[in-house]
Amino acid sequence: MSEIHASPPPTTVEPEDSSQTSDAQKSEQTEVQQQQQQQQQQQQQLPSSLEHHSKRPRSGDVDPQSTSRGKRLFGNLLGTMRFLLALSFIGAVLSATTTTTKTTTKTTTKTTKTKTTTTTTTVQVATTISAAPPATGTTVPTASPFKPGAGSVAPPTVVARTKTCTVTATGSDDGPSIKAAAQSCSGGGRIVLAGEYTINSFTDLRGLAHVDFYLTGTITFGETVAFWQTNVYQYTYQSAAAMWIFGGVDINIYGGGTINGNGQIWYDAFASNSNIIRPVLLVLDGVNGGAVFDINLRGSPFWNNLVANSTNIIYDNINIVSASTDSNLPKNTDGWDTYRSDNVVIQNSNINNGDDCVSFKPNSTNMVVQGLSCNGSHGISVGSLGQYKGEYDIVQNVYIYNIQMANAENGARIKVWPGATSSTVGTGGGSGRVQNVTYDTFTSTDISAGNNIVLTQCYNESDLTTCEANPATLTISDVVFKNFYGTSKKPLVGSIECSSAGVCSNISTENIVISSSGALEVDCLNVDATLLQNLTCISA
């Protein structure tokens, strides 16, 4: 994401680039309690930097062993994925077909806000992944980004639920009604949201199990900027916040409807006060097995999607528009931010925003991003990493494939803070590693000159002497940029600049086919120039 200048850690947002700115059923309670205990045991094996960065206690932590639709669909989806070293492709992983039959006795429960019924349905769920891309060539791929072919994961298939809870719009705050329906239908239900809803209060949808949110209508977040300053769930990581949170096991959101964050009031407010708390539009936190597909996101105040502390998630066919109607830009409106999560697929989506198309935050592992069309973005970014002193950040096993970039500030980007606290913004000095990241098949139009490929370990530090005196210690290895197509007004198409000898290894490029006025060049510092095919390495 592009960055804003904010207060010192741990409450800072990643700064702007200077160039741009339940009650659930008792049986489910027992299940979740057991899952929480096992999840805690697993977390003890993780680095300390993976600890949950929030001011309130978590709920909804779940066990990956839970028997659920989420497990059937995602549980082992990427678990056997092998990322080879820099020049390899992603291997084929689990292909599973599960048939589930549910037969129940019909019951009816009615309240002022929800309606519950029972259905009997037999469904079949099938999913495969084979992420190896087609053979590379020297011409621009003709395939649409919405048909990524061999790299595509089968979209989620709707599974029958045993209950249906319909939420009636009240014309005021519908948050409590949505929460009541979720609690009533948790344990195998489907919440129907077919009206025009308004949410005017923090809505906690964690601790759920085996539930679908079928949104065909519109949910709009109301109230004022001032109201939400004290009525959000506040994270300490990069000052993120949430107006609602989904959490639990086997949680799915779909239906073709729209979630509207009322973004313009936030863009205008932020233009005059950069210290305001801005909430993420859609947050999955502590979800094991879930999907978000066929959803429209409009006017996010901040990041559009945050997936945190979660595993086995698919996003498919998401349409994002974060646009301003005046001169106040929609800043920090990342399409997705992944944080402390594993096995996430983001695919077949269209993003129009004012920041990163996708950003892999600390401790993002086993990620596949493919078939995206990104307009007006700051690129697909690893990081920023190393922002907080004492934190160990990991981004590992990431495959980004078949991306179209238009009107972008950057294409593919890896951004790491210097090895000491920045003299200008007061953050930096963290450590960690980036390993096994592949950017494959990027087609770009109107990318800022020299920014098709960017790797920096002096992120957001204007004083280069600070970076030289305090080089980043976070290591970067086994990274490949290949099959890049487009045009550039100048021969310079990127920069690959590592802080010191030894921190970067096996950084390579191949088949960079960008039309320019001369032989393609890249700024280089502390990298092996012999691995940069199609590019002439020049001094940074």
Whichever domain contains 355, its CATH number is 2.160.20.10
Active-site residues, by number, are: 378
Helix, strand, coil share (%) of the chain residues, nearest 5: 15, 40, 45
pLDDT on residue 522: 95
How far apart (Å, rounded) are the C-alpha atoms in residues 160 and 230? 39
As given in the structure block, the two tokens for residue 36 are 């929480």
C-alpha torsion sign, points 337, 343, 344, 347: positive
pLDDT on residue 190: 98
Answer yes or no: is 75 within a domain: no
pLDDT on residue 13: 62
Mean pLDDT by 10 residues, the chain (540 residues): 37 54 44 50 38 35 37 41 37 34 36 42 29 31 34 70 96 98 98 98 98 98 97 94 98 98 98 98 97 98 98 96 97 98 95 97 96 96 95 96 94 94 78 96 86 93 82 96 89 94 95 89 95 89
pLDDT on residue 34: 53
Answer yes or no: is 220 within a domain: yes
Q: Judge contact between 328 and 354, C-beta under 8 A.
A: no
Answer yes or no: is 485 within a domain: yes
Answer yes or no: is 85 within a domain: no
CA distances 500 to 169, 464, 507, Å, are 59, 13, 14
Type of residue found at 78: L
Type of residue found at 161: R
pLDDT on residue 420: 84
The number of folded domains in the chain is: 1
What are the φ/ψ torsions at residue 284 (nearest 5 degrees)? -105, 120
Answer yes or no: is 2 within a domain: no
pLDDT on residue 157: 75
Q: What secondary structure does DSSP assign to 228-286, as a single string?
A: HTTSSEEBSGGG-EESEEEEEEEEEEESS-EEE--HHHHHHHHHH-TTS--EESEEEEE
CA 472 to chain centre: 25
Closest CA to 408 of 458, 362, 358: 358
pLDDT on residue 144: 31
Let me know if 481 is exposed, middle or buried by CB neighbors in 10 A (0-12, 13-18, 19+). buried
* Domain of residue 434, residue span: 151-539
Closest CA to 354 of 455, 430, 248, 278: 278
Strand extents, DSSP E, 188-243: 189-193, 196-199, 203-215, 218-221, 233-234, 241-242
How far apart (Å, rounded) are the C-alpha atoms in residues 409 and 432? 26
Answer yes or no: is 60 within a domain: no
Q: Look up tokens 């099938």; give the residue.
A: 126
Q: Judge contact between 79 and 343, C-beta under 8 A.
A: yes
Answer yes or no: is 142 within a domain: no
pLDDT on residue 51: 35
pTM value > 0.75? yes
Answer yes or no: is 330 within a domain: yes
